[in-house]
Chains A and B, each alone.
Chain A
Amino acid sequence: MKRNVAIIGGGQTYHAARRHDVDEPEMVNEAVRAALKDARMTIDEIDLVILGNMEFFEGTHMTDCWLVHGMGAYGKQGLKITTGGTVGATAVCAAAHHVASGLFDKVLCIGFEKQEEGDTGAILSGVANPLWGRSMAGAAVGYFAMMGSSYMAAWGAKEEHSAMVAVKARQNARRNKYAHLKLDITIEDALNSRMLAWPIRMLDMCPASNGACAMILADEKTAKSRSKKPVWIRATDTAHNEQFELDWRDVKTNRLIFSRACAGRLYRKLGITDPAKYFDVFEVYEPATWAELIWYEDLGLCGPGEGFRLIEQGRTNIDGPIPVNPSGGVLSTNCIGASAMLRVWEAALQIRGDAGEHQVPKDVRRALTTGYGGTNWTVMTALSKTLDD
């Protein structure tokens, strides 16, 4: 990066299925105030405000205008980003670019979604191409179901492996005071939950949450003078998949699909050969259980077809050697526009040692996060505790 960039503060709302007590700007304002308080800053110090959400979900277009007071963006420079499920991470990525470029020193980025205000299933079907498959669209659950059936057929994984991911997420969420689904469930509970689209059951999918996350990014000089625990953004990378090609769920494909292209490029930037050893914690975007297993493989935490062995051996547990989603992940909280930013913020909390009850019980110096959304693209962010890490 041209200039070093640090996360110097952040905050989130509590996440829930119902937030009738707040409108959109009020909800966003909760996260913005929490982030400013965490950074010990006032809104007057912010140079630029970046907002991200998936505006189809609420049906409120131009959210950057309607939420301007809640964001604290009145009269300031700002921009709005809409990149589907990745948008929270894209907002962080854009904020990092703006600081790294030298044009801005203190950037506030915000991600939010109020899913209760619209019809998520219908809107996600509308993400399909209007002329090719929209009338047949299986929504997100159908896509992940085919990913799961393809994964099981290719590698011999069982529905129990998916259930193990479901249990890990909700048990981790029980330690996270902000999480939406804090469920004390067992593998049997997951396997007995209602079938939505074989092999996806109710507990294999993320919830529809309301919530917001905000983060403040700053240049090195500001970070070192203002923050006791800056978390450094060491690299970001993004990649799109080819549209209409459903190779991302063909788990045996040899193509350099979006996730592998992005991870490969990010690892080259940092000289990483063994990501499972290099990073101390991962926060990945897993709207469904099977997606987490495929992330293990696409990120190179194991070989192809070995993802389900990692969960089986407990290696990605909060106290395992490769902790993945100690926060409970998207499976426990999915306020879409905030979800990908929550991955970055939760990873930053782990590096600061401020994750509370879901703090990983080891020295956390480096973390990797992924976003996932649109019709398959990703944003990855690598964080570190010091500039020497």
Chain B
Amino acid sequence: MATKDKEWISIPMTVDVPYRFAAGSYMTKCLTELRDSGKIYAVECPKCKRVQLPPRVVCAECHVKNERWVELPHEGTLVGFTIMYLPLTDPTTGKPHEPPFVYGSVRLDGATSVLDHMVEVEPDMDKVWVGMRCRLVLRPKDERIGDLSDIRYFEPLPGQKKPQS
């Protein structure tokens, strides 16, 4: 074990590294449609018919090119969630998301994939549940930049109550 009666030097250092990532043709179409028309586009595999979001060039399972674009509705079902009590750092901005907040995984109707995002609901176990119906809320068009943050959050569809188990 380390002894505490000795001095040990450690030197603090902050490294700030800028990156710039090419989105590629499939993600570019997805993000420009989100920005310009507020539409969510996925791709369907010609073989297994899985509707994949975000869209990507090859179906990982079938090894074939995904070519059919599918516009997804803005409504879906919550398949998993957490109430976050930690101020998690957004690594793209360095700023924390202020806790507590609900963060969830939603399967938009017709999609095979799920989409993780903030859920605009009170951080209360009676107000959020697996199976809850949700819809996307986008930023106003003039604030959208072609990034997943153009989606502000999911919000519950009105008129639902948590089923009693």
Interface residues of A (CB under 8 A from B): 14, 16, 18-22, 59, 119, 121-122, 125-126, 130-139, 141-142, 145-150, 153, 194-200, 242-246, 249-250
Q: Is the CB of B88 within 8 A of A21?
A: no
In the assembled complex, 5 residue pairs joining A and B whose CB atoms fall closer than 8 Å, in A order, are A125-B89, A145-B84, A197-B82, A199-B82, A250-B79
Bound form: Cα–Cα A142–B97 in Å: 13
Please pick, from A136, A150, A250, the residue contacting B103 in the complex, using a CB distance under 8 A.
A136
B8: chain A residues within 8 A (beta carbon): 20-21
Q: Is the CB of A146 within 8 A of B82?
A: yes
Q: Is the CB of A131 within 8 A of B23?
A: yes
Q: Is the CB of A200 within 8 A of B82?
A: yes
Bound form: Cα–Cα A132–B92 in Å: 12
Q: Is the CB of A138 within 8 A of B103?
A: yes
CB distance from A254 to the nearest CB of B (A): 12
Q: Is the CB of B27 within 8 A of A131?
A: yes
Q: Fill in one digit per residue for B125-165: 1 if any A CB lies within 8 Å of its CB, else 0.
A: 10001110000000000000001110000000000000000
Q: Which residue of A lies closest to B92 (CB)?
A: A135
B104: chain A residues within 8 A (beta carbon): 146
CB distance from A253 to the nearest CB of B (A): 11
CB distance from A86 to the nearest CB of B (A): 19
Q: A122-B89, A146-B103, A197-B83 are in contact. List 15 more A-B contacts (CB 8 A).
A: A59-B15, A125-B89, A130-B92, A131-B147, A135-B93, A136-B118, A138-B103, A142-B88, A146-B104, A148-B82, A195-B83, A243-B60, A244-B56, A244-B113, A246-B113
Q: Which residue of A lies closest to B102 (CB)?
A: A198
Q: How many A-B residue pairs have CB under 8 A?
A: 134
Identify the 8 closest CB pairs spanning chains A and B, nearest first.
A145-B82, A21-B2, A153-B130, A20-B8, A146-B80, A150-B80, A198-B83, A242-B60
Q: Given that A131-B27, A153-B130, A243-B60 are contacting pairs, would A137 and B125 also be in contact in the complex, using a CB cutoff of 8 Å?
A: no
Q: Which residue of A lies closest to B3 (CB)?
A: A21
Q: Fill in one digit per residue for B50-62: 1 if any A CB lies within 8 Å of its CB, else 0.
A: 0011101000110
The A-contacting residues of B in range 63-110, CB under 8 angstroms, are: 79-86, 88-93, 103-105
B112: chain A residues within 8 A (beta carbon): 245
The A-contacting residues of B in range 12-45, CB under 8 angstroms, are: 13, 15, 19, 21, 23, 27, 31
Interface residues of B (CB under 8 A from A): 1-3, 6, 8, 10, 13, 15, 19, 21, 23, 27, 31, 52-54, 56, 60-61, 79-86, 88-93, 103-105, 112-114, 116-118, 125, 129-131, 147-149
CB distance from A372 to the nearest CB of B (A): 18
A138: chain B residues within 8 A (beta carbon): 82, 84, 88, 103, 116
A126: chain B residues within 8 A (beta carbon): 91
Of the listed residues B6, B80, B86, the one surrounded by the most CB atoms of chain A closer than 10 A to its CB is B80
Bound form: Cα–Cα A246–B84 in Å: 19
Bound form: Cα–Cα A227–B165 in Å: 58
Q: Is the CB of A196 within 8 A of B86?
A: yes
Q: Is the CB of A149 within 8 A of B130?
A: yes
Bound form: Cα–Cα A338–B98 in Å: 33
Q: Is the CB of A149 within 8 A of B81?
A: yes
Bound form: Cα–Cα A196–B21 in Å: 32
CB distance from A133 to the nearest CB of B (A): 6
Q: Is the CB of A244 within 8 A of B54?
A: yes
A16: chain B residues within 8 A (beta carbon): 1-2
Bound form: Cα–Cα A21–B6 in Å: 9
